[in-house]
Structure 1
Amino acid sequence: MPAPLTLFCLPCAGASAAMYLRWRRQLPSWLQIQPIELPGRGGRLNEAPETTFDALAHRLCDELEMYPPQRYALFGHSMGALLAYRITHCLRMRKRPLPVALLVSACAAPSHQDWKRYADKDSDASLIADLRKQNGTPEEVFENAELLSMTLSLLGADYRICAGFHYRKLPPLPIPIHVFGGRADEIRPSKLEAWQFENDVNYSLDWFDGGHFFLRQQEDAFLAALADRLSGNPVEVSHVHSAALASA
């Protein structure tokens, strides 16, 4: 059995830490899931949210410094992946212990981020269209006016945060980066492949059937791959394709 490891999980835009709670029952006991709640939502609803990407990343870095487990990794989906990346660099600049690995899901590499994608979502209609396209929101949300209004407000705020991300070339990270993508997602394979230039050690890219929320659509296969990457075991070929094949 691998050594105990804490996996801090950052949510995607418009979501809360609750999206990861079910993983605690599905992953092996050596892997402790620790969802990170962002200020202004979920259990931190009474806290003032941050309004810029850098402010949010640095605030989360401050909080992570206060709870340093012996071994940990960072995982993020979509916006959460970008935050995990910036937090890792923040910890490095502060000369704090780094995660054993950075795991990113459904997120273009930092050097290939398109801020216009988020800036264009400035109306409820455009946000709803985006939610529909990503196919990760329960139908009950669209049928409940109050719940939909809350979701759109949170999503719009998160998109404004993402639009404020600015890439700057930094020294490559000295830790593995494991990337996960959906074959039907609109993110081009080349934008996921570019994560390999953000570190100078092990890099992997695993593909799954499904769109932006493949981690729900193919949950069993995805969680098996996640655990394998963190344990150092080889990932089964059945759900992994090379980047070259995925680009074909």
Structure 2
Amino acid sequence: MTAPFSPSAGARAARVDSPWIRRWSEATASRLTLICLPHAGGSATFYRPWAALMPPEVELLGIQYPGREDRIGEPATAGMGELVSAVADAVLPLLDRPYALFGHSMGSAVAWELAHELDRRGAPGPRRLFASGRAAPGTAVTGQLHRQSDDILSAELGRLGGTSREVLDDPGLRAVILGAVRHDYRIIETYRPGPRPPLTCPIHVLTGGADPELGEERCRDRARGWADLTTARTEIRVFPGDHFYLTPRRREVVATVLRRMDPSLTTGARTWPSTP
């Protein structure tokens, strides 16, 4: 029988300093937590601009996978199971208040697996799960891009958007980025979800209407796959934009997430430094 879940204040303070966790503001007034999981090849920094839009009631936490940015020298995880187990270890002490999970692209599958892993450990479930830019686990079409050449992988990044041509044309930057992308593509392309009981939290499906992976009509068709994964309601929101619609539509996306977490929340207006 699983032991009762009871994170301590000391454990929370220690785990916020975990290499897996990024936090960009103090959380002294927070009553909710939003945990964000990056896309393939992405990092926690992708969500850093969201911090300026968070009200004081919400603590924003980004998950930093190994093998990128300040964790570039660390060994990457072997597969989805190892990745999710390590993320669960890091976030478990931080669940002393209601929380939601947000995952973009590969991150949505990680978020879904994380919700089940936390439940297996006896932790409280998320208030909401936000699945962005990807079909439901078990229905998403996968390929073999992680086995392809750097040129083919670069072309795929260009097709999806989100990576500037200047970065891909720089040999040094390209090598670093493609290393993380190839590793993450291997995880998601070899990922085969096992049978799971449905979650009990609402699932909110978000996508860009021009996403080549999951456009407006395909999103509405495939949303039924996410609906099968919860006993609660499933909602779809389509934004203008491509696979990385989140960047130009940041304020709308964050406002949508906050309203679904708690209708009383509004976006903040803090000024954040312009450094990357």
TM-score by length of 1: 0.87
Question: In the alignment, which residue of structure 2 is the partner of 1:246?
Answer: none
Q: CA deviation at 1:119?
A: 4.3
Match of 2:66 among 39, 44, 69: 39
1:178-230, CA deviations, whole angstroms, 9 ceiling, x for partnerless residues?
Answer: 11011111222222342111100122110101110111122222222111111
- CA contact 1:176–1:199 (8 Å) conserved in 2: yes
Distance in 2, matches of 1:62 and 1:218, equals: 32
Q: CA deviation at 1:121?
A: 5.2
- CA contact 2:104–2:134 (8 Å) conserved in 1: yes
Q: 1:192 to 1:128 in 2, by over 3 A?
A: farther
Distance in 2, matches of 1:206 and 1:185, equals: 13
Question: In the alignment, which residue of structure 1 is the partner of 2:18?
Answer: none
Runs of 4+ more than 3 Å apart: 118-121
Match of 2:149 among 123, 128, 136: 123
Query: Are 2:188 and 1:162 equivalent residues in the alignment?
Result: yes
Q: CA deviation at 1:120?
A: 6.3
Query: Are 2:75 and 1:48 equivalent residues in the alignment?
Result: yes
Alignment of 1:11-50 (within 5 A): 11-50=38-77
Which residue type is aligned with residue 74 of structure 2?
E
Distance in 1, matches of 2:104 and 2:172, equals: 26
SS at match of 1:111: coil
Question: In the alignment, which residue of structure 2 is the partner of 1:152?
Answer: 178
Q: CA deviation at 1:98?
A: 1.4
Structure 1: give runs of 5+ residues left out of the alignment: 234-248
Match of 1:59 among 65, 86, 97: 86
SS at match of 2:183: helix
Distance in 1, matches of 2:81 and 2:189, equals: 11
Distance in 2, matches of 1:225 and 1:67, equals: 23
- CA contact 1:40–1:48 (8 Å) conserved in 2: yes
- CA contact 1:121–1:159 (8 Å) conserved in 2: no
Alignment of 1:194-205 (within 5 A): 194-205=225-236
Query: Are 2:247 and 1:216 equivalent residues in the alignment?
Result: yes
Distance in 2, matches of 1:107 and 1:160, equals: 16
- Computed over aligned residues only, the root mean square deviation of the Cα atoms, in angstroms, reads 2.0
Alignment of 1:1-16 (within 5 A): 4-16=31-43
Q: CA deviation at 1:51?
A: 2.0
Query: Are 2:238 and 1:207 equivalent residues in the alignment?
Result: yes
1:135-181, CA deviations, whole angstroms, 9 ceiling, x for partnerless residues?
Answer: 11123312321001111111011100111211223111011111101
Q: Which one has a larger percent helix, Structure 1 or Structure 2?
A: 1
State the aligned residue count: 232
- CA contact 1:107–1:192 (8 Å) conserved in 2: no
Q: Which of 66-75 and 18-27 deviates more?
A: 66-75
Percent identical among aligned pairs is 33
- CA contact 2:146–2:186 (8 Å) conserved in 1: no
Distance in 2, matches of 1:59 and 1:213, equals: 26
Which residue type is aligned with residue 209 of structure 1?
P
Query: Are 2:255 and 1:228 equivalent residues in the alignment?
Result: no
Alignment of 1:101-112 (within 5 A): 101-112=128-139
